[in-house]
Amino acid sequence: MQKNGLDNRSREKKVGLWIGGISTFLLISFFLVPFYLPEGSVPKLSGRANAFDYHSEDGWGNLQTSGNGNVGHNQSEYGEFVWSDLDPYAAFIYGFGDLNCHTKAERSWEINGNQMPVCVRDVGIFLGIAIGGFLFSRKGFNRWTIRDTFLSLLPDKSLESVYKRDKRMFAMLVIAGIAAIPMAIDGFTQMLTSYESTATMRMITGTPFGVLVGVFMAASFSARPALFGLNPSSVILPSGSRFSMKSEEE
């Protein structure tokens, strides 16, 4: 029997490996694609997050000028870029980066004279997601709720006082804060002041946040009450705690 009361944890292993594997594929691709593309074929870019800017010749990224305000740069100074003209694999990776990242040149690395599809912070985030997924595949347990499944990554011994005092949500929020607040401070300081973070700082702050995201995603897909026969009291929790239905408590 596993420490959560189930006979096996095959679902947790699969979920963690899928999350870690997909993130690792993307992470490797961020380096591989600019490496094999012809040297200098991807110029300095500067787009917007959550938008396709370089999908076509008339995309926002290629039409931007120095008069666009604080967002972007004058793309004509660096050359046009259309990721949809690339081979399917490269187009997918650069399209993924275009949609999910601002792709600012001053916050991104270059490989083979080509700007990477995502910024350095996103490299750290995807590295963290991979770590979080693989870590959960080895240490995570389905414990009915997302919150308790998330906390299962920690040794039960260290969670005894948390469960005795029913501070599970507080503990989860503290962990989330430790992982996310440094990145938030670094990012918002850049946005609101003249401070410009370094590549090292972006990696350092992005990776813990990625681990948080990876573990939370794995916990969300792994928390399955149905595997306990919808019987909450069958879930083994730290300090001998037990779930109970509201009607039972009454």
Three-state secondary structure string covering the chain: CCCCCCCCCHHHHHHHHHHHHHHHHHHHHHHHHHHHCCCCCCCCCCCCCCCCCCCCCCCHHHHCCHHHCCCCCCHHHCCCCCHHHCCHHHHHHHHHHHHHCCCCHHHCCEECCEECCCCHHHHHHHHHHHHHHHHHHHHCCCCCCHHHHHHCCCCHHHHHHHHHCCCHHHHHHHHHHHHHHHHHHHHHHHHHCCCCCCHHHHHHHHHHHHHHHHHHHHHHHHCCHHHHCCCHHHCCCHHHCCCCCHHHHC
**Does any domain span residue 249?**
no
pLDDT of 249: 46
pLDDT of 244: 72
Overall number of domains in the chain: 1
Domain that holds residue 166: 10-239
pLDDT of 243: 87
**Does any domain span residue 204?**
yes
pLDDT of 247 > 60? The answer is no
**Does any domain span residue 248?**
no
**Does any domain span residue 183?**
yes
> 39-61, pLDDT tens digit by residue?
999 999 999 989 999 999 999 99
> 198-236, pLDDT tens digit by residue?
888 999 999 999 999 999 999 999 999 999 998 999 999
- pLDDT class of 248 with cuts at 50, 70, 90: very low
> 125-154, pLDDT tens digit by residue?
999 999 999 999 999 999 999 999 999 999
pLDDT of 250 > 50? The answer is no
**Does any domain span residue 5?**
no
**Does any domain span residue 2?**
no
**Does any domain span residue 140?**
yes
**Does any domain span residue 246?**
no
Tell me the pTM: 0.92
